[in-house]
Amino acid sequence: MATYLDHNATTPMAPEVLEAMLPYLRGPYANASSLHRLGRASRDAIEAARAEVAELLGAQPSQVIWTSGGTEANNLAIKGVMHDGGRLLYAATEHPAVMECAESLSDARTQVEAIGVDEGGLIDLDRLRAQLAQSPVTLVSVMAANNETGVIQDVAGLARAVHADAEALFHVDAVQAAGKMAVDVQRMGADLLTVSSHKLYGPKGVGALLRTAPVDLWPLHHGGAQEGGLRGGTENVAAIVGFGAAARLAQTRLDARTVHLQRLRERFEAGLAAIPGVTHFAAQSLRLPNTVQMALQGWAGETLLMALDRQGFCVSSGSACAIGHGAPSHVLVAMGVPDALAIGAIRISFGEANTDDDVDRLLAALTGLARQGAR
């Protein structure tokens, strides 16, 4: 039996989501662009889901652009805006789907710069303001909550600075935030906002970019009129319907989910404090209710992950995407954590189905491994 504690990598699909999808896998198969009645049925299902995703995020349905997930939505936001070059700023702790996308654009026409964070993982507003004042900025991209540490940025405050000081566009990667905390695109001041279904108990391979301002986007690929020509290709109706159902669930369950996750995290953190040799990263920062990133003295992150795996616990070493790289997490390095400590990081991310018993068994396993590490 495995105990799954890796919900920031992906979540299991909620049974209600599967139920909502099944009819579209078994039955209505028509192309949503077809004008006949079956095509219109697929179109209606897509539009109902669009309204549900918009509602979760305080947006209008017309502002939702379907994508294949967070990576594509981040690429569409960044490449779509930076098509004609300019100056792009992104936080040093961004997910590779922003960071590597941004770096790939760096050339004679496009200046790309990282924004530093403090030791708690937060963007320093004064430093950002200084960067904004240097020369005109086209786009600033910042994540609402970090996938590794769970650190939550003051996105609304950053948006005010970006819009007032630089008149730049503001993109928010809300992939980890959506479904775990309130995400309102207007309140966050985001011109563009990324979400992904599989992080909130929906199916994989579907996400969305929200566009709330009249931003001129250049599509990533051409050859279809879907999504106003911004995302050509026949829609995956069942996946989109599943995303809509997951968004609806997230909205009705958000408060209960937050209370449950926060309680599990607090129980875990209280137990961690009694284990010798534990480093708890960004412990003093405001964080997602479900996320703990930590290291155990004497253990490399991947070795610790495998030791926990042998005892039935599924956790992650830093970001799932970094597995196998053997490099310290760029997030921790940006926070000033020494490489030797950062290499020991593992991430525990609780989910809806986890229990007090899961937490207590994990604490017992870590206590045993701490003794081994100290030998």
Ligand X SMILES: Cc1ncc(COP(=O)(O)O)c(C=O)c1O
Select the residue interacting with ligand X from 11, 63, 71, 138 (CB under 6 A). 71
242/373 with CB nearer ligand X: 242
The correct pick among 3, 153, 176, 317 for binding ligand X (CB under 6 A) is: 176
Nearer to ligand X, 67 or 354 (CB): 67
Site for ligand X in 18-57 (CB under 6 A): none
Beta-carbon contacts of 140 under 8 Å, excluding residues fewer than 6 positions away, are 88, 89, 90, 115, 128, 132, 158, 162, 166, 168, 169, 170, 171
Rounded CA separation 132/198 (Å) = 34
Active centre residues (catalytic) = 321
- Tell me how far CA of residue 322 lies from CA of 18, 303, 326, 337, in angstroms: 30, 14, 8, 17
Contacts of 11 (CB under 8 A, 6+ apart): 198, 199, 200, 201, 202, 351, 352
Q: Least Å distance between CB 374 and ligand X?
A: 33
Q: Which of 49, 97, 140, 348 contacts ligand X by CB under 6 A? A: 97
| Member of 32, 53, 123, 175 binding ligand X (CB under 6 A) | 175
- ∠ Cα 240 241 246 (to 5°): 95
Q: Of the candidates 158, 148, 147, 168, which has an alpha carbon nearest to the alpha carbon of residue 123?
A: 158
Integer Cα distance of 290 and 332 in angstroms: 18
Q: Applying CB under 6 A, does 143 fall inside the site for ligand X? A: yes
Residue 342, helix vs strand vs coil? helix
Write out the H or E segment, with its range, that includes residue 114: strand 110-115
69 lines the binding site for ligand X (CB under 6 A): yes
> Interface mask (CB under 6 A) for ligand X, residues 332-371, using x and -?
----------------------------------------
Residue 97 or 139 with smaller CB distance to ligand X: 97
Give min distance, CB of 9 to ligand X, in A: 6
Q: Interface with ligand X by CB under 6 A: which range of 68-76, 77-85, 292-300, 302-310?
A: 68-76
Identified binder of ligand X from the candidate list 50, 70, 200, 235, rule CB under 6 A: 70
For residue 303, give the H/E element and its range.
helix 301-310
Within 204-243, the residues that bind ligand X by CB under 6 A are: 207
Residues forming contacts to ligand X in the complex (CB under 6 A) are 69-71, 74, 95, 97, 143, 147, 173, 175-176, 196, 198, 207
